[in-house]
């Protein structure tokens, strides 16, 4: 029964009807020929135009404009590859070739287009020698850029024009329009680079002699030592102007027949007043005379030489404070770790001027003779918007009457671990909390000697250091039995540096306590 074959409706020989639906396919429609090409290739000898374009009465004008645009395209492509004069000649040569290839261009149209190209020559010179075009050209050799050559070429190009530039600085500002704003924004740096003197002129000091002869010596000493920083000159200029007016009044009282009009100085006095006013305007333009921003030279040098690190940030408030401080005082250098040359460490977990918990960064700060200050100093600097003295914010010692460890480190002339030898077994001295390399670096900074052979140790001046919180009693017992030297945890090393003294007794740090 199950082996019976399926039979069609017409008998055994009739085919079986396929009831599956016929697929409905549609052939794609043929694409029409593109009317306009996607890319129109234009060479210097021929201009290709689509044959399907409608020809109208303005074809000649459009064709001429297209030639000019082609010339500008050629000019833009070759501007960074050829010198300026060659580019201009190349541009005219390309246009002549185009004109010869197309006889339909009239003479008047040829002259007009030629004049347009010649008038653009000066613009090409400026654009090609400007900073913008040089920055766009990646293959340009910046060491060969000559500003004076650019100014000379510009003068030659402007020789036929009525406008003449007497000063080279005017041409430079024209070639590089943004340089004036940059110089104004960084005028203090410009004066520093150009070594512009900011001391008062001699005749002002002479007038100050007449006003305060007893203070003149001190003022001269200040100016001789602080050539870059001066007090506000407005006060001194006013003091110089006052005696002139007083002398004028005295002269009018003594000589009633004086021909000088009241309240008007003599010609010589008027000339000197004009000079003083000019000086005051100059100082005001340079923005040097704000007394609130005048900083002592030593203090400025101190600020610029500060290299600050901060302890671990405990909260978002700490992160926000550090970020605001760095944005406000960008002259101060920040380092994540205490490096050679670091000057300050700001502890973010202080309570007043006492730091209860210490860290590896704290030990590095003392080892490198850094000044350790509290978080309050950074807060007050941000509030007052100026870098204040750190004297009132330094970390003090937890024990009353003792000198802080960072101050002992700065005053000490002898390294803490001088002539001391340390042996750190590789298998027992490494930890993810305090890596072995950091311990070796601390030992080296503090003048200690790291030995790699255990027989180089001596019981009187040697230490065997295991990792912090190490509990390898069996290994420590074997080392002590062979060398007669106590095996200490690395906490003793860190505490000795943090207090800048060899902590004793060492029994509390021994792994095999008696």
pTM: 0.44
Model confidence at 421: pLDDT above 60: yes
Average pLDDT over the chain, rounded to an integer: 69
Model confidence at 195: pLDDT above 50: yes
76 or 511: whose pLDDT is higher?
511
Model confidence at 234: pLDDT above 80: no
DSSP 346: E
Range with lowest mean pLDDT among 161-175, 411-425, 431-445: 161-175
CA-closest candidate to residue 209, choices 195, 219, 221, 223: 219
Range with lowest mean pLDDT among 85-99, 150-164, 362-376: 85-99
How high is the pLDDT of residue 441? Answer: 94
Question: Residue holding tokens 């041409």?
Answer: 171
Model confidence at 135: pLDDT above 90: no
Distance, in Å, from the CA atom of 154 to the CA atom of 242, rounded to the nearest integer, reads: 50
Model confidence at 513: pLDDT above 80: no
Could you read off the pLDDT of 266-282 as tens digits, one per residue? 776 677 677 766 666 65
Could you read off the pLDDT of 57-89 as tens digits, one per residue? 455 555 555 555 555 554 544 444 344 444 455
How high is the pLDDT of residue 9? Answer: 56
Question: What DSSP assignment string belongs to 476-511?
Answer: HHHHHHHH---EEEHHHHHHHHHHTS--S--GGGBS
Which sign, positive or negative, has the C-alpha torsion 267, 268, 270, 275?
positive
Residues of the chain with pLDDT > 90, as a percent, come to 21
In the three-class reduction of DSSP (H, G, I as helix; E, B as strand; rest coil), residue 354 is classed as strand
Give the pLDDT band of residue 220 (cuts 50, 70, 90). Answer: very low
Averaging pLDDT over each range in 181-185, 194-198, 415-419, which range is the top one?
A: 415-419
Spans of all domains in the chain = 65-74+82-156+165-194, 307-411, 421-509
Q: Please compute the mean of the pLDDT values over residues 224-249 and round it to a whole number.
A: 43
How high is the pLDDT of residue 289? Answer: 39
206 or 97: whose pLDDT is higher?
97
Give the pLDDT band of residue 310 (cuts 50, 70, 90). Answer: very high
> Which CATH code is given to the segment(s) 307-411?
3.40.50.10190
Hey, which residues does 8 pair with through a beta bridge?
Answer: 11
How high is the pLDDT of residue 91? Answer: 53
DSSP 199: S
Give the pLDDT band of residue 354 (cuts 50, 70, 90). Answer: confident
Fold matches, 307-411 and 421-509:
yes
443 or 291: whose pLDDT is higher?
443
> Which CATH code is given to the segment(s) 421-509?
3.40.50.10190
Cα angle 97, 102, 107; round to 5 = 90
How high is the pLDDT of residue 157? Answer: 76
Range with lowest mean pLDDT among 43-47, 218-222, 410-414: 218-222
Residue 240 CB burial class (10 angstroms; 0-12, 13-18, ≥19): buried
- Strands, DSSP E only, in 358-448? 371-374, 421-423
Model confidence at 315: pLDDT above 80: yes
How high is the pLDDT of residue 193? Answer: 79
Q: Please compute the mean of the pLDDT values over residues 201-219 and round it to a whole number.
A: 44
Q: Please compute the mean of the pLDDT values over residues 370-398 and round it to a whole number.
A: 89
Averaging pLDDT over each range in 98-102, 185-189, 270-274, 393-397, which range is the top one?
A: 393-397
Model confidence at 390: pLDDT above 60: yes
């Amino acid at each position: 029964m199950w082996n019976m074959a399926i039979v069609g409706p017409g008998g055994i020989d009739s085919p079986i009807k396929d009831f599956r639906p016929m697929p409905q396919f549609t052939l794609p429609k043929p694409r029409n020929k593109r009317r306009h090409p996607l890319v129109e290739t234009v060479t210097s000898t021929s201009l290709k135009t689509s044959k399907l374009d409608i020809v109208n009465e303005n074809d000649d004008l459009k064709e001429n404009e297209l030639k000019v645009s082609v010339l500008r395209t050629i000019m833009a492509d070759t501007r960074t590859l050829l010198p300026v004069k060659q580019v201009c000649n190349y541009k005219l040569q390309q246009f002549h070739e185009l004109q010869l290839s197309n006889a339909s261009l009239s003479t008047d149209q040829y002259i007009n287009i030629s004049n347009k190209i010649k008038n653009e020559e000066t613009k090409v010179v400026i654009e090609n020698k400007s900073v913008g075009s040089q920055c766009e050209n990646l293959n340009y050799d910046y060491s060969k850029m000559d500003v004076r050559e650019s100014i000379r070429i510009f003068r030659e190009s402007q020789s036929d024009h009525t406008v003449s530039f007497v000063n080279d600085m005017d041409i430079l500002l024209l070639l590089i329009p943004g340089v004036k704003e940059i110089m104004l924004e960084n005028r203090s740096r410009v004066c520093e680079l150009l070594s512009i003197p900011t001391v008062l002129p001699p005749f002002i000091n002479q007038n100050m002699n007449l006003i305060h002869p007893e203070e003149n010596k001190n003022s001269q000493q200040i100016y001789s030592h602080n050539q870059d920083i001066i007090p506000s000159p407005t006060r001194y200029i006013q003091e110089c102007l006052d005696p002139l007016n007083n002398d004028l009044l005295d002269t009018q009282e003594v000589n009633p027949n004086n021909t000088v009009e009241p309240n008007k100085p003599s010609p010589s006095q008027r000339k000197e007043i004009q000079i003083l006013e000019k000086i005051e305007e100059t100082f005001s333009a340079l923005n040097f005379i704000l007394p609130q921003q005048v900083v002592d030279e030593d203090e400025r040098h101190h600020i610029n030489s500060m290299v600050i690190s901060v302890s671990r940030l405990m909260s978002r408030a700490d992160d926000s404070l550090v970020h605001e401080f760095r944005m406000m005082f960008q002259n101060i250098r920040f380092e994540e770790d205490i490096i050679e040359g670091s000057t300050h460490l700001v502890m973010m977990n202080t309570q007043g001027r006492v730091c209860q918990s210490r860290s590896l960064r704290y030990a590095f700060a003392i080892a490198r003779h850094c000044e350790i200050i509290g978080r309050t100093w950074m807060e007050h600097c941000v509030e007052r918007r100026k870098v204040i003295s750190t004297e009132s914010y330094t970390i003090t010692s937890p024990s009353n009457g003792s000198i802080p460890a960072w101050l002992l480190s700065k005053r000490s002339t002898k390294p803490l671990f001088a002539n001391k030898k340390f042996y750190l077994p590789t298998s027992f001295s490494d930890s993810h909390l305090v890596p072995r390399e950091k311990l070796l670096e601390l030992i080296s900074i503090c003048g200690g000697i790291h030995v790699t052979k255990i027989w180089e140790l001596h019981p009187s001046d040697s230490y065997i250091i295991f990792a912090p919180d190490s509990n390898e009693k069996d290994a420590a017992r074997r080392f002590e039995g062979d060398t007669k030297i106590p095996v200490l945890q690395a906490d003793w090393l860190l505490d000795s540096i943090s207090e800048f003294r060899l902590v004793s007794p060492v029994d509390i740090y021994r792994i095999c306590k008696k």
